[in-house]
Structure 1
Amino acid sequence: MSSQQSSKKKGNHPARFHYEFAGPYLGPLGMIIGLPVITFLYSKYCTDQGWPVPSLTLEDLTPQKILSEFIASFKMEVFMVYVAYWLYQAALYFVLPGIKGKGIKLSDGSQLEYPFNGLLSSLVTLTIVLGIHFTDFFNGKYNLDWIADNYLPLTTATVVFSVAQAIFLYAYSFSGKKLLAVGGNSGNYLYDFFIGRELNPRVFGLDLKYFNELRPGLLQWGIYNIAFAYKQSKLSPNGLPDAWMILVVIFESYYILDAVMNEPAILTTMDITTDGFGWMLSFGDLAWVPCLYSLQARYLSTRYHSLSTFTDFLYLAMVIVLGVLGMIIFRGANSQKDQYKRDPNHPSVKKLETIQTQHKPLLVGGWWGKARHINYLGDWLMSISWSLPCGFGSPLPYFYPVYFAVLLVHRDMRDEEKCAAKYGKAWQEYCRRVKYRIIPYIY
């Protein structure tokens, strides 16, 4: 996955690091081209005709055809609506009340301050979206129907905006004195553009990486789900979504709310502490998350299935149990880790076993004694429970848990490598004590 590179000091950091994602050329270039294509194709061809649609031909998958279809799907009105939405979210970042907190200490000794008002921002936005829909404020435009019907041009808008933002971020990283991410300061233009050159870019006080991580894309995913549930309700004999759609919306809404309710926890994640903000996170936050993570709701919106047999109810119960189990593992592990970081003397974590290191103690008790990334297991189980309500008529809804498994294993590899270098022999002892990486007794 990586190759060792070292060179003389460049910028604010020594350019000694590991190329990741099969860098510096093949992986980054493949993802910069391939991921927008995947996002666009899934958005275009997930229809009520099935997947793949019967009319899909090999000609539709040629580069020339995909590019022409992408250009044709761009609508300036939709793009401007998206820009207005992004700017609106940025405004809420500044004007809504909320406590403020500081991130971890950076390599230059500074600690950045962040506003924790993501939950309030989400609730205000959702209220406005539903208000526009039910009051018909724009005479039938920009409501839930409009959102569902314009899913493809909205996808195009997010792709265009995310790429434009990535170009801005790369250019902006050369202005003034900036704290650069070690991994994004290679001197290779393509790789640095992809991975992110500046660690915490801020424009007029807006921390772009932190803002993009939890605000526009994550909330857009939730809004898509509601729009697709409303669309499916029109196919229902009782005017309500079916149980499968309701389950998907509830599970995924929980995930979104969990993120914004535990907003301070993101400040200790690899995305914030280690990675720069470049194409990878810009595209991931703004395009990949809302457009790909809403696939299950979009797939279900084209059909209605009632619960009619005992097997249906049994299957529904199984999916619920799996989803709740994932929630318990995910939130339990993350809360335990965050509580220990905030206050290691708190009664809930005080008695947990640890291994002392030259930096900070490593937890080997509680959830973190079962696997070194036990929270990833909970995350993955939840992703499976989002897809199972779609049945097995198409592989499309299962793209997310398959992709997510690859992502989590890669994250695990990145973190293992980083921790091995940071903690040395203490990490070897930790791995001896906690043998499994993600799934206890298996992996």
Structure 2
Amino acid sequence: MDRHKIPRTKELEFGGFLGAFCLLFLLPATVFVLLLTCRTEQASLLNFPLPLPTLRSLWNPQDFALVLAWVGLQALLYMLPLGKLVYFLKQVTEGTVLRDKSRLLYCINGIHAMWITALLVGVGMVAGLRLSYIYDHLLQLAFSATVLAFGLSILLYLKALLAPGTALAPGGNSGNPIYDFFIGHELNPRIGTFDLKFFCELRPGLLGWALINMGMLVKETELRGNPSLAMILVNAFQLLYVVDAFWNEEAILTTMDIVHEGFGFMLAFGNLAWVPFLYSLQSYFLVTHPQKLSLPVAGGIILLNGLGYSVFRSANSQKNTFRRNPVDPKVAGLKTIPTATGRRLLVSGWWGFVRHPNYLGDLIMAFAWSLPCGISHILPYFYILYFTMLLIHREARDEHQCLRKYGLAWQEYCRRVPYRIFPYLY
């Protein structure tokens, strides 16, 4: 492949070069500000100045070794001959096959890795493993994950520059090193058959999120004798989400992250640091700010989470079934719109209700995850506030890609399904 003939990226996102440069510092800073605020008595984002830690207190070689060991364990489980192999056709923005006509082979064994990890953690706890260590060293572990994310991103960028025949990302080939470093210069970087982006997309981050939550539950038990109902709900809701992701791991192969995004700092930091250490913010908050829930309130929160999960899973299952086999009896009766690419767009079922019903379900669940933390602090609601902005931004990017890909068919779909995420609102 002639790298010089690959088109330059013209449409820059996230504020272009300057925005990418600022986000390199703003994203890690956000993680540490929120974690530090969570441990203060007021837990208020308006409570400044925060007690800032020193670099010496954040850097702990033992914690960095633990983070490396965790990622190494997940990499080892990823390479085990378990699960199934799936071919996936690489595509660029317009949906055409890449110039090298290649097909990537993925090992789908995340659910096996999850169960083996759970078994190892369980055996470790019986043998005396103290999971509350995670709470005591959360800042140091987050710093280690951030260092690892920067180091991995540097290696990824150098690999994209130096490796011959590299398939560059359509959105990360601007020619500006800062922007391409942030967005990701290479589309699907691999070492042999080890796909770095696919591995990081779920394995260390989502399992790390569940492990951190468990560490918070153990810490609360040590402090108060037993875990609170609020902590149990947060752990249960978010564990369901993690298990669902691994049970349906193959569906990731059709997401924007795999098909379109390069693998650079944005995804590396997001997967290794942002997801595990900020998505667990509710359980971290509950350790130092316990909440009492009545059974009727807890029941209502459970029903809300169940509603969100039902919408999320039903919508995603409908889409994935249609993509695999449009004549499957489960989706054969749904209305569709033909496109010039040969594919058809669903325009009934969940996908005729709003354009992104899976996002709607995601946001309902996110709200349910925050409610066990009470309503006296805004901090536990950071996740849903951030996630709303993220999904609205992602929805806009996705619709831009779909318009370029499907043209008039997409315009017709938007006419027939006017609401993007929230019915009758947006």
| TM-score where L is the length of structure 1 | 0.90
Unaligned runs of 5+ in 1: 1-8, 61-65, 137-141
Contact 2:88–2:103 (Cα < 8 Å) also in 1: yes
Match of 1:14? 7
Contact 1:232–1:303 (Cα < 8 Å) also in 2: no
SS in 1 for 2:54: helix
Unaligned runs of 5+ in 2: 92-97
In the alignment, the residues of structure 2 paired with residue 178 and residue 371 of structure 1 have an alpha-carbon distance, to the nearest angstrom, of: 38
In the alignment, the residues of structure 2 paired with residue 161 and residue 330 of structure 1 have an alpha-carbon distance, to the nearest angstrom, of: 32
Contact 2:37–2:50 (Cα < 8 Å) also in 1: no
Match of 2:271? 285
Question: Residue 335 in 1 paired to residue 326 in 2?
Answer: no
In the alignment, the residues of structure 2 paired with residue 282 and residue 186 of structure 1 have an alpha-carbon distance, to the nearest angstrom, of: 19
Match of 1:73? 58
Contact 1:202–1:208 (Cα < 8 Å) also in 2: yes
Deviation at 1:162, TM superposition (A): 0.5
Among candidates 130, 151, 155, match of residue 122 of structure 2: 130
Q: How does 1:8-407 map to 2 (within 5 A)?
A: 11=4, 13-25=6-18, 27-47=19-39, 49-52=41-44, 57-58=48-49, 60=51, 69-106=54-91, 107-108=98-99, 109-136=101-128, 143-174=130-161, 175-236=163-224, 239-307=225-293, 312-359=294-341, 360-407=343-390
Identity of aligned residues (%): 43
Contact 2:3–2:165 (Cα < 8 Å) also in 1: no
| TM-score where L is the length of structure 2 | 0.94
Aligned-residue RMSD, C-alpha:
1.8
Q: Which amino acid aligns with 1:354?
A: T
In the alignment, the residues of structure 2 paired with residue 338 and residue 52 of structure 1 have an alpha-carbon distance, to the nearest angstrom, of: 42
**Higher-RCO chain (CA-CA 8 Å, sequence separation at least 6):** 2
Deviation at 1:10, TM superposition (A): 5.8
Contact 1:11–1:180 (Cα < 8 Å) also in 2: no
In the alignment, the residues of structure 1 paired with residue 205 and residue 155 of structure 2 have an alpha-carbon distance, to the nearest angstrom, of: 18
Report how many aligned residue pairs link the two structures: 416
Contact 1:233–1:241 (Cα < 8 Å) also in 2: yes
Contact 2:17–2:179 (Cα < 8 Å) also in 1: yes
Q: Which amino acid aligns with 2:351?
A: W
In the alignment, the residues of structure 2 paired with residue 430 and residue 265 of structure 1 have an alpha-carbon distance, to the nearest angstrom, of: 23
SS in 2 for 1:183: coil
Deviation at 1:59, TM superposition (A): 7.3
Contact 1:79–1:157 (Cα < 8 Å) also in 2: yes
Deviation at 1:394, TM superposition (A): 1.6
Q: Which amino acid aligns with 2:158?
A: A
SS in 2 for 1:334: helix
In the alignment, the residues of structure 2 paired with residue 204 and residue 228 of structure 1 have an alpha-carbon distance, to the nearest angstrom, of: 38
Deviation at 1:206, TM superposition (A): 1.2
In the alignment, the residues of structure 2 paired with residue 300 and residue 134 of structure 1 have an alpha-carbon distance, to the nearest angstrom, of: 25
Contact 1:129–1:143 (Cα < 8 Å) also in 2: no
Deviation at 1:46, TM superposition (A): 1.6
Contact 2:36–2:50 (Cα < 8 Å) also in 1: no
Contact 2:291–2:372 (Cα < 8 Å) also in 1: no
SS in 2 for 1:414: helix
Cα 1:194/1:71, change in 2 over 3 Å? farther
Q: Which amino acid aligns with 1:270?
A: M
Residues 170-200 of structure 1 deviation map (CA, whole Å, 9 limit, x = unaligned): 0010121100011101101111000000000
In the alignment, the residues of structure 2 paired with residue 313 and residue 11 of structure 1 have an alpha-carbon distance, to the nearest angstrom, of: 64
